[in-house]
Amino acid sequence: MSKPTEPFVVMMTLDRETSSVVLTRSDGKEARQPMMRPPFASTSLLARLHYAPSLGGLLAVTRNGDEVAFELPARGRSNQLERRLVVYLDQNMWRPVSDALQGGSTVGRRDRDAAEQLAEWVRCRRIVLPASAGHYHETTKWSLTDKRYRLGLTILQLSRGWQMRDPLQVRRDEIGGMFRCWLGTTDDARAASVFTLAPNSLHSPSRLVPYSPPSDFSADDAFRLAALTSASAYIDVMLDAERVEPGPEPGWVQVNQQFSDWLDAQKWDSQQKRRSIDALLFADLRRELAEEAHAAGLSQQELQQWAQKQPMKGFSALPATGLYREMLHNRHLNRGTQWEKNDLTDMLYLSCAAGYADFVVCERHMREPLERGVRRLGLPTKVFRRLSEAVAALGDALEQQAPNNDVRTDREADVPGHG
């Protein structure tokens, strides 16, 4: 006769109404621990957080009764995509998706069908729609409270915790890989895990100091706590009742506008202009180049040798940085270019996405230079400007995949009782 199994915790709940932590055991019993202070800020729209350790999922419930389910990272697993295709939506593409799924009357039938199909593929674990810091930046500063909430909710519900790593960190990783390739210590300059569930990936350490668990925690517990803290913070920030106030106008707009105007006046051929644009980019990247060269182990003499041998040629092997360079060339070579404050953000995030995602959907004025750069670098990414066209191509790609019996739907992966 087997011994009875000891009860174990199947659910942890952080409850706003009672300001307590609720532990639910496998035998159905509960233990409540009051918290010393309220777990959520006054402007937070979260009511409860549920965590099921055995399933590796976090479920957030808002004060409006809406639910957000996040997948959580597994320690020691660098890739949890499980053959899912990565589809990156530019910010202007998330709005029609949100409107369509929320029943907006202004969305056309084709966009509505496309949005519903994307959501279905997410539920069936066929695709991943990652969120980026750019999405958070644009969404959280929107002044229309209700629309900001609905858009943020849609991004959270469909991204399910998947993030695109900070493009500035991806750039650093690629530059470091480029130097290691030059030294012969590696043969691949690509960045790793650009689309990830890893905690605190939206912003690099240089832009945001991540939360550090207590030093006496085990490695497993520390990783679990960091993942839960990161995921809950991302949800809370996106849905907060107060918007994030826009910052000052970026100075780079004037710099690039002056450079474009100056370049238009030069009687040079395209190759001469490209070299001039490369000089501008090289100056912009000088800090990353110096720091990553040092980290890769280059001596001062080796760095000088690298700089003397047409260094920008190495950028063609860097998916994200190489695409950013191509987009910069295209914008500056296009006579009469007028630079807007969001152009750099769009270029930075879209070049990173297109360097590593399977599909990218963005507006026309960015799609054309991005697609041209993808072709020049020989990347496999498909770039679209319409949701319906992207969904049609995505459907074809999914049909070509071999059946995967291990793929689970979201109802099998979510917290039990809340699917």
What does the pLDDT look like over 262-290, one tens digit per residue? 999 999 999 999 999 999 999 999 999 99
- pLDDT, residue 308, reads 83
Residue 248, both tokens: 């000052």
pLDDT in tens, 61-90: 999 999 999 999 998 877 899 899 999 999
Q: Is the pLDDT of residue 127 over 60?
A: yes
277 occurs within a structural domain: yes
Per-residue confidence band for 415, with pLDDT thresholds at 50, 70 and 90: very low
End-to-end CA distance of the chain: 36
Give the gyration radius of the chain's Cα atoms: 23
Q: Tokens 């087997």 appear where?
A: 2
64 occurs within a structural domain: no
Rounded to whole angstroms, the Cα distance separating 50 from 162 reads 18
Query: Which residue has better confidence, 206 or 234?
Result: 234
Rounded to whole angstroms, the Cα distance separating 65 from 47 reads 8
Domain extent, residue 157, equals: 82-209+240-412
- pLDDT, residue 403, reads 61
What does the pLDDT average to over 334-349? Answer: 91
**Number of independent structural domains in the chain:** 1
Residues 6+ apart with CB under 8 A from 333: 263, 270, 273, 274, 277
Pair 314, 178: CB distance under 8 Å: yes
Rounded to whole angstroms, the Cα distance separating 159 from 410 reads 12
Closest of 135, 164, 128, 162 to residue 151, by C-alpha:
135
294 occurs within a structural domain: yes
325 occurs within a structural domain: yes
Q: Is the pLDDT of residue 369 over 80?
A: yes
269 occurs within a structural domain: yes
* Adjacent-strand bridge partners of 68: 60
What does the pLDDT average to over 101-111? Answer: 82
Q: Is the pLDDT of residue 305 over 70?
A: yes
% of the chain with per-residue pLDDT over 90:
72
What does the pLDDT average to over 211-235? Answer: 92
What does the pLDDT average to over 389-404? Answer: 88
Phi, psi of 40, deg, nearest 5: -130, 145
Burial letters for 374-397: b for 16+ Cβ neighbours within 10 Å, e otherwise?
beebebebbbbbbbbebbeebeee
Residue 299, both tokens: 């001596």
321 occurs within a structural domain: yes
Pair 206, 288: CB distance under 8 Å: no
Rounded to whole angstroms, the Cα distance separating 264 from 280 reads 15
Rounded to whole angstroms, the Cα distance separating 414 from 178 reads 40
The one-letter amino acid code at 27 reads D
59 occurs within a structural domain: no
300 occurs within a structural domain: yes
Phi, psi of 41, deg, nearest 5: -70, 160
| Helix, strand, coil percent values for the chain (each to nearest 5) | 50, 15, 40
Left (φ > 0), alpha (ψ -120 to 50) or beta: where does 184 sit?
Answer: left
What does the pLDDT average to over 230-239? Answer: 96
Pair 330, 57: CB distance under 8 Å: no
Per-residue confidence band for 210, with pLDDT thresholds at 50, 70 and 90: confident
Residue 334, both tokens: 């296009």
pLDDT in tens, 148-167: 999 999 999 999 999 999 99
- As a whole number, the mean pLDDT across the chain is 90
Rounded to whole angstroms, the Cα distance separating 155 from 131 reads 7
What does the pLDDT average to over 244-258? Answer: 86
